[in-house]
Amino acid sequence: MAQNFERHRQPWTPGEIAKLHLLAGKGMSLKAIAKALTRSEESVKKRAKSDKLKISKAR
């Protein structure tokens, strides 16, 4: 069940970063944010950590 991400190893655009900040601020889960940005969960997690954002845990 591997997913292919078109954005693999692509640099983050300012629009994607803004959307990440917005979605994280709304309290969305890591999985939902990754799907919305068409990026891997690992990529989103790394970017959020570097921007000092909190991503909510899925329950």
Tens digit of each residue's pLDDT (9 = 90 or more) over 1-51 = 455 556 667 899 999 999 999 999 999 999 999 999 999 999 999 999 999
pLDDT value of position 3: 59
The structure's pTM equals 0.82
- Judged against a pLDDT cut of 80, whether residue 52 lies above it is answered with yes
pLDDT value of position 10: 86
pLDDT value of position 6: 62
Burial of 11 (0-12, 13-18, 19+ CB in 10 A): exposed
Q: Give the residues across from 56 on adjacent strands.
A: 29
